[in-house]
Chains A and B, each alone.
Chain A
Amino acid sequence: MDFGYHEENEIFRQKIKDFLKENITREFRAEVREMQGKGMGPLTKELILKIGDMGWIGMSWPEEYGGRNADRIDQYIFEEEFVRARVPLNIGNFIEQAPAIMASGSEEQKKYFIPRLVRGEITFALGYSEPSGGTDLASLKTRAVEGHNDYVINGQKTFTSGAETASHIYLMTRTDPDKPKHEGISIFLVPMDTPGITVRPQWTLSGGRTNEVFFDDVKVPKTTMLGNKNDGWYIGSKALNLGRAGAMRYYTYVSLFEETLYFARSNPLGVELMADEIARDKMAELYCEAQVARLFTLRSLSMVRRGIAPPYEISSEKVWGPEFLVKSTEVISQILGPYNQLWEGSDLAPHRGSFPKRYVSAMVSTFGHGSTQVMRDAIARRGLDLPRGPV
């Protein structure tokens, strides 16, 4: 067992921190707040290009696709530090869509998409969930009908975050309604400006935006299909599993606790609240549980680096982390009391009023990207080899 970082890893982490210190300026933060739900501002675009120039996007990918075969540990450090600094990078694309394209895409698709993803010129929204179902994703109804040279897509997606700014949608559709549900699905890489696509905002409790996306006779060339026809479920679920792991997710789960800890140590109100030993006990408990979230991620990472496909460990991460986040919002709200309800705009609000936003948005983690119930099914069946029961 080795829970430490090599000196090179530490040097790399320092390099990232220095970069963030230099580039994440007050102006940058102001732009991010200003542009929320409206796309990328000029400073953000510039930052992504700079990150690309540093060779940090997709660094653990093979060299031929713009990566540099870097150690996955460095990739982990990159994700951890960028999420910690709250840089709005679409890391999900780099750990899900790019690997899926590399694994299943045509040569043309690889050459077109990968370098543009690295430069931030292309971003994908995920076209998975539909109004009739998200957890039972394989029951999706959006139809793609094969024509002579193209496919014609009709249907509706929902909770499609980032669709208002994405250049493309990574779209799961049904291409064969007569086959068993997992075997009639295909994925398309569709430009968002294709005629027939309509995006309608869905505003969330935290003030953020997600979307409904409508497809009305959307014609796409056959070359937009990723991999073979009707293989979409298997291509997608592999990438989905990758997207459930990694520092990006773990840090998203524990960042609220880390910020609260900082508040408890450095803010006069926080220090005052910590005079209560029961409050300290609760914080200490959250600390221990946050470490478990971190360690589960490092365990999956260690397995992947050894070439082992984790049979259930990634699902454990995806149960523990989100439920930790939800619990931490509860515990922290009971420590902060009325201060936890103060929205941005109040001078009295700790942390610019971010606590209540985290409180109302934490729920997304326990159902987004696979509900914790489905994750538990996977742990029991794939990890513990328990028999599949009556459905």
Chain B
Amino acid sequence: MDTLLNEDEALLRDQARAFLTKESPTALVREVESENKDYDPSLWKKTAELGWLGITLPEEYGGTPVPFSHLGLLFEEMGRGIAPIPIHPTMVAALTINKSGTEQQKQSILPAVISGDKILSWAWFERGGDIDLSSVQLEAIVEGDHLVLSGTKLFVDGYHHADQCLVVCRSLADSEGNEGISLVLVDTNSKGLSSDRLPTMAGDIQDAVSFDSVRVPLSNVLGEVHNGGAAAVSLLETAVILNCSMIVGASHKAIEMTFSYAKDREAFGQPIGSFQAIQHMCANMVTWVDGATMLTHEALWKISEGLPATIEIASAKAFCNERCPAALREGNQIHAGIAQIKEYDLQLWYRRSAAWCMRLGTSIQHRRIVAREIGIVPS
């Protein structure tokens, strides 16, 4: 028991923070957003060169098999640095392929991901945006040695530049819930695919993707066809906890900016940070964001140890979704007028972390998981 970072973890955090402070300045973040560039290829390449796209992946594909906590801490720094690269969708898909894919799939995809030559995305959500697998209805029909996909996926992160998209679909027509689910890798240049860019609050890359009888070879299915329910749940859990890490990282940065501001900004002849009303807001902010951090870290540790972490992940996400935006709103209040001005940097963190808290399941949906796990749902 030692909830603090160990030496290796602290080293990675420090390296990532130093790298992103230098390589992901707000000027770059603004440039990528304002010119609709989606991401910065040069930062992506540099991140790959540091070996960070291979964290937790096997050595034989060029990865570094370290505990999962390292990946979480890297994502925390990616959130803190609001790095404009598609690391979340790519790594979530890559980790799923590593866990559930065939040897051939791993060989053909993972080395290219790790070297920064392949961007991946994954598609789960449909109309309703629920995190329950019963909401997955995208139709997939087996025809000979192909799956034929029809339907629409929403909120597909990083799709625009992805080479492949890992699609969660329902391959058994009359199945329910976790049954009859398949995970299949779809080349984004496949015939019958079309996408619509969704304009978002954070100005990031999301698409609505339509499948019009898209034919995908069965060899692209991860694991067994119709039997991908567990892998789909695992995919989402991975996505959720790494999303929590990003929220926590961005939130820490935003509240630290607020504390500095409170020390410098004067009103009524003294720093506003000397007023007890402001001090108590700041004390709440750090307590809430620390709480989100501790829940996230405990979940990361459980995953690192190979222990079930369903309830820890859901708890972390439910808490992050509500408390981190609350902390950042207090930050806006302390900044007051300037918080709404685009030119001022605080908003870069505010909009992104707020948007991240709206994705991958609401607090209500995640508390539904918590309620199930603590055994209070009547049978």
User: By the criterion CB–CB under 8 Å, are B301 and A1 in contact?
Assistant: yes
Nearest B residue to A279 by beta-carbon distance?
B376
A389 within 8 A of B: yes
CB distance from B288 to the nearest CB of A (A): 9
Q: Is A358 an interface residue (CB 8 A)?
A: no
Question: Does the CB pair A288–B374 fall under 8 Å?
Answer: no
Q: Are A284 and B318 in contact (CB-based, < 8 A)?
A: yes
Taking a contact as CB atoms closer than 8 A, the residue among B5, B259, B298 that contacts A3 in the complex is B298
Indicate with 1 or 0, residue by residue over B48-79, a CB within 8 angstroms of chain A CB atoms. 00000000000000000000010000000000
Q: Is B279 an interface residue (CB 8 A)?
A: yes
Q: Which residues of B contact A (CB under 8 A)?
A: 1-6, 9, 69, 259, 262-263, 270-271, 273-276, 278-280, 282-284, 286-287, 290-291, 294-295, 297-298, 300-302, 305, 315, 318-319, 364, 367-368, 370-371, 374-378
Which chain A residue shows the least CB distance to B375?
A265
If A264-B376, A265-B376, A298-B3 touch, does A316 touch B286 (CB 8 Å cutoff)? yes
Q: Which of A59-67, A80-88, A174-182, A299-307 contacts B (4 or more CB under 8 A)?
A: A299-307
Docked complex Cα distance between A380 and B370 (Å): 32
Instruction: Tell me, in angstroms, the Cα distance from A315 to B286 when the chains sit together.
Output: 11
Are B295 and A291 within 8 A (Cβ)?
yes
The answer to whether A1 touches B315 (Cβ under 8 A) is no
Residue from the list A2, A373, A390 in contact with B274, Cβ < 8 A:
A390
The docked-state distance in angstroms from the alpha carbon of A315 to that of B287 is 10
Q: Do A316 and B290 contact each other (CB < 8 Å), given the known contacts A271-B378, A288-B295, A302-B3?
A: yes
User: B2 contacts which chain A residues (CB < 8 A)?
Assistant: 1-2, 302, 305-306
- Residues of A375-391 whose CB lies within 8 A of B: 375-377, 379-381, 383-390
B328 to chain A, nearest CB (A): 16
B283, A376: Cβ atoms closer than 8 Å: yes
Please determine whether A388 and B274 come into contact, CB atoms closer than 8 angstroms.
yes
Closest chain B CB from A300 CB (angstroms): 9
Given contacts A284-B368, A376-B279, A377-B279, contact A73 B262 (CB under 8 A): no
Q: Is A320 an interface residue (CB 8 A)?
A: yes
**A376-B280, A380-B273 given; 19 more Cβ-contact pairs under 8 Å:** A1-B3, A1-B4, A1-B5, A2-B6, A3-B3, A265-B374, A265-B376, A284-B370, A284-B374, A285-B367, A288-B315, A292-B291, A296-B291, A316-B290, A320-B291, A373-B280, A376-B283, A376-B284, A384-B279
Say whether B294 contacts A299, CB under 8 Å.
yes
A252 in the interface (beta carbon within 8 A):
no
Report whether B4 and A299 are in contact in the complex, using a CB–CB cutoff of 8 Å: yes
B residues near A283, Cβ cutoff 8 Å: 371, 374, 376
Q: List 22 A-B contacts (CB under 8 A).
A: A1-B2, A1-B9, A3-B301, A9-B1, A265-B376, A274-B376, A274-B377, A281-B371, A296-B291, A299-B4, A303-B4, A315-B283, A316-B286, A376-B284, A379-B286, A380-B273, A380-B283, A383-B283, A384-B279, A385-B263, A388-B274, A390-B270
**Residue among A6, A261, A285 facing the most chain B CB atoms (10 A cut-off):** A285
Contact of A389 among B274, B367, B368 (CB under 8 A): B274
Closest CB in chain B relative to A303 CB, distance in Å: 7
Closest A residue to B4 by CB, please name it: A302
A242-262 interface bits toward B, Cβ cutoff 8 Å, 1 = contact, 0 = none: 000000000000000000010
A383 touches B286 (CB 8 A): yes
Kindly state whether residue A214 has any CB partner on chain B within 8 Å.
no
* Cα A120 to Cα B119 with chains together (Å): 66
Residues from chain A with Cβ under 8 Å of B274 in the complex: 386-390
Decide: A2 and B1 in contact? CB cutoff 8 A.
yes
Residues of B within 8 A of A9 (CB): 1
Taken residue by residue from 3 to 25, chain A's Cβ proximity to chain B (1 for < 8 Å, 0 otherwise) reads as 11110010000000000000000
Q: Which 6 A-B pairs have the closest CB atoms?
A: A389-B274, A380-B279, A284-B367, A295-B294, A379-B283, A376-B283
CA distance A33 to B253 in the complex (A): 51
The answer to whether A1 and B374 have CB atoms under 8 Å apart is no
Min CB–CB distance B76 → chain A (angstroms):
12
Q: How far is the CB of A272 from chain B (nearest CB, A)?
A: 8
User: B interface, by DSSP: helix, strand, loop or mixed?
Assistant: helix
B302 touches A280 (CB 8 A): no
CA distance A289 to B276 in the complex (A): 25
Q: What chain B residues lie within 8 Å of A5 (beta carbons)? A: 1
- Chain B CB within 10 Å — which of A2, A306, A390 has the most? A2
Q: Are B276 and A389 in contact (CB under 8 A)?
A: yes
Contact between B1 and A389 (Cβ–Cβ < 8 Å)? no
CB neighbours (8 Å) of B69 from chain A are 1
Residues of A31-71 contacting chain B, CB below 8 A: none
Q: Does A30 contact B (CB under 8 A)?
A: no
* Residue contact B280 to A380, C-beta cutoff 8 Å: yes
Within 8 Å of chain B (Cβ to Cβ): is A367? no
A384-B259 contact in complex given A1-B300, A288-B367, C-beta closer than 8 Å: yes
Complex Cα distance A283/B376, Å?
Answer: 9
Taken together as a complex, chains A and B put the C-alpha atoms of A306 and B217 apart, in Å, by 55
A261 lies within 8 A of B291 (CB): no
Q: How far is the CB of A215 from chain B (nearest CB, A)?
A: 34
Shortest CB-to-CB span from A328 to chain B, Å, is 14
Residues of A within 8 A of B371 (CB): 280-281, 283-284
Q: In A332-391, which residues have CB < 8 Å from any B CB?
A: 373, 375-377, 379-381, 383-390
| Distance, CA A380 to CA B263, complexed state (A) | 11
* B368: chain A residues within 8 A (beta carbon): 277, 280-281, 284
- State A280–B284 Cα separation when bound (angstroms): 26
A319 contacts B by Cβ under 8 Å: yes
- Considering only CB atoms, which chain A residue lies closest to B284 in the complex? A376
A295-B291 in contact (CB<8A): yes
Most buried by B among A289, A313, A380: A380
Give the Cβ gap from B298 to chain A, nearest Cβ, in Å: 5
**Residue of A264, A320, A387, A388 ringed by the most chain B CB atoms within 10 A:** A387
Whether the Cβ atoms of B315 and A291 lie closer than 8 Å is: yes
Smallest CB separation, B170 vs chain A (Å): 26
- Residue among B259, B305, B315 facing the most chain A CB atoms (10 A cut-off): B315
Q: Using Cβ atoms and an 8 Å threshold, which residues of chain A touch B302? A: 3
